[in-house]
A = this chain, B = another copy of it.
Amino acid sequence: MVRRLHHIGVAAEDFEAAVGFYRRMLGQEVVKEAILPEQGLRLAAIPCGPDGVWLEVISPVSPESPLAGFLAKRGEGLHHIALEVDDIERALPYYEAMGCEPLARRPEPGLGGLRTLFFHPRTTRRVLVELVDRVGLA
């Protein structure tokens, strides 16, 4: 059901410094960049080599963003993983049957026109897992 690992998310206090660091570490340029005001996030995607798995740098754009709370509590570092599925709504009953609890009622808009849905990490062994799909791009 999972097509591939789509990206890994890294939380950054200093967005520009982190983007510069990971560009250099990966030897790649930013391919997508956005501010998602409704989620209080700023994002930049840098591919890990030519196979397309992104490292996504994320920073809060307001102190009310849940990510600001994460940074205050845990500091910079690995934040989430995103799994690409064909269709989030069709995949959801499978994950709910496993006990994974979605954080929203329906998929939300993400970077590059993708749809996204997160699970509560309490229900996914303390790993914040995001599903993404390309339904909105079809």
Q: Which residues of A36-75 are within 8 A (CB) of B?
A: 48-51, 53, 55, 74-75
Q: Which residues of A56-109 are within 8 A (CB) of B?
A: 74-81, 83-84, 95, 98, 100
Seen from chain A, the residues whose Cβ lies within 8 Å of a Cβ on chain B are 1-5, 8, 10, 12, 18, 21-22, 24-28, 48-51, 53, 55, 74-81, 83-84, 95, 98, 100, 121, 124-129
Most chain B CB within 10 A, of A51, A126, A127, is at A127
In the complex, the answer to whether B26 meets A2 with C-beta atoms within 8 Å is yes
Q: Measured between alpha carbons, how far is A97 from B122 in the docked complex, in Å? A: 39
Return the chain B residue nearest A95 by Cβ: B25
Interface SS majority for chain A: mixed
Q: In the assembled complex, which residues on chain B have CB atoms less than 8 Å from the CB atom of A3? A: 49-50
Q: In the assembled complex, which residues on chain B have CB atoms less than 8 Å from the CB atom of A75? A: 126
Q: What's the nearest-Cβ distance from chain B to residue A84, in Å?
A: 8
Q: What's the nearest-Cβ distance from chain B to residue A31, in Å?
A: 15
